[in-house]
Amino acid sequence: MTLRLHAPGIDLALTLESGQFFRARALGGGWWRIPTHGRCLEASQDGDTLVVEGAEANFARAFFALDEEPAGPPRDPRVRPALDAARGLRILRQEPWECIAAFITSQVSNIPRISRNVEDMAEAFGRALGPGLPRAFPRPEELGTEADLRALGLGFRARYLVAAAAWAREVGTERVAGLATDELLGALQRIPGIAAKVADCIALFAYGRREVFPVDTWIRQAVTALAGRMTDARARQWGRERFGANAGFVQQALFVWARNGGISAPDDGPNGSGSSGAPPPRTSPRPRSRLRPGAR
DNA sequence: GGCCAGGTCCAAT
DNA sequence: ATTGGACATGGC
């Protein structure tokens, strides 16, 4: 069964490689394999049409958030370059438990490693989805012990993952789905290993809360370039107040933009204690990892 | 081979 | 309330 879904302006490759979801793999020919929500679908794009195999329309529309209003014009013209760089980006609606685990895994890491860690957890503990297919991400009760996870290379995150799995089993990810956003964030932050940044990512990428503005090292740099140095907590507020219902989208656009070298301002750590004397500005931002320039 | 990474927790101001 | 280190491992 092949689905053709109207997805105006979408850039599927950008969406799947923007660092919000870690299990999409390019199959070649513009096709992607996407294990999510306990199944494996395939997708490609034909202009404004999303072509999907292996899922029913309602499921695909929900995962790709196709019924959402596209982000309106930015209130702040300074983010225009970032939004241009991220044209076609969509925010997916991920499965909450996998999203929780993935963003715990993301701590002090990088996208290639996060992807590998998430894949390793699936291959080690997940249910088989079929011959030749990747495994599902393990359910909370299937995730291994802390020692198992350390053996997979998860490091200090292993303890947090085990705690989050216990929470997901005992409380359940659906129990908090109806909470107001700040209550949801509070509930998530009661899990050891989840603080503001990871909670924001989960609220944004799994619970559809587009009004949050997760602040990581890249966003810290972007906000510094746009509005000057401030603490992460302030930057988070700044983004929420400035971009309102679009904060999450703008944040992800800034993330893509910053990682692609859109920033030239220096950065000095999470608390904005910048050296008062003007430091020699780096002339080049540093040759950081690109977002695979070859990939569409 | 270092440096630093989609952070968080804890102890010491 | 703010701040510096520790935490495990691996990309580049």
Nearest-CA residue relative to C1' of B8:
A193
Is the CB of A112 less than 7 A from some atom of nucleic acid strand C? yes
Residue pair A220/A251 in contact (Cβ under 8 Å)? The answer is no
Chain C positions within 7 A of any protein Cβ atom are: 2-4, 7-12
> Has residue A266 got a pLDDT over 90?
no
- Provide, in whole angstroms, the distance separating residue A120's CA from nucleotide C11's C1': 17
The angle subtended at Cα A58 by Cα A24 and Cα A198, nearest 5°, is: 45
Burial of A246 (0-12, 13-18, 19+ CB in 10 A): buried
- Provide, in whole angstroms, the distance separating residue A194's CA from nucleotide B10's C1': 15
- Look up residue A242 and give its two tokens: 């400035």
Please give the model's pTM, rounded to 2 decimal places: 0.93
Q: Which nucleotide is at minimal CA–C1' distance from A191?
A: B8
> Has residue A26 got a pLDDT over 80?
yes
- Provide, in whole angstroms, the distance separating residue A104's CA from nucleotide B5's C1': 14
Q: Which residues touch strand B (CB under 7 A)?
A: A 18-20, 106-111, 114, 156, 192-199, 201, 214, 216-219, 251-252, 255, 270
Mean pLDDT over A151-179 rounds to 98
> Helix H segments across A18-110?
57-63, 80-85, 96-105
Strand partners, A40: A35
Chain B positions within 7 A of any protein Cβ atom are: 5-9
Q: Which nucleotide is at minimal CA–C1' distance from A287?
A: C12
Q: Which nucleotide is at minimal CA–C1' distance from A159?
A: C7
Is the CB of A108 less than 7 A from some atom of nucleic acid strand C? yes
Query: Given pLDDT bands bounded at 50, 70 and 90, which one contains residue A98?
Result: very high
User: A48-69 burial by CB neighbour count: b if 16+ within 10 A, else e?
Assistant: eebbbebbeeebbbebbebeee
Q: Measured between alpha carbons, how far is A220 from A229 in angstroms, rounded to an integer? A: 8
For residue range A11-23, list pLDDT tens digits in order: 999 999 999 999 9
- Provide, in whole angstroms, the distance separating residue A49's CA from nucleotide B8's C1': 41
Q: Measured between alpha carbons, how far is A182 from A184 in angstroms, rounded to an integer? A: 5
Query: Given pLDDT bands bounded at 50, 70 and 90, which one contains residue A75?
Result: confident
- Look up residue A292 and give its two tokens: 């695979």
> Has residue A158 got a pLDDT over 60?
yes
Query: Given pLDDT bands bounded at 50, 70 and 90, which one contains residue A1?
Result: confident
Rg of chain A on CA atoms, in Å: 19
pLDDT at A279: 35
Residue pair A188/A103 in contact (Cβ under 8 Å)? The answer is no
Q: Measured between alpha carbons, how far is A198 from A213 in angstroms, rounded to an integer? A: 11
| Residues A145-150: contacts with CB under 8 Å, at least 24 apart | A148/A124, A149/A121
Is the CB of A292 less than 7 A from some atom of nucleic acid strand C? no
Is the CB of A234 less than 7 A from some atom of nucleic acid strand C? no
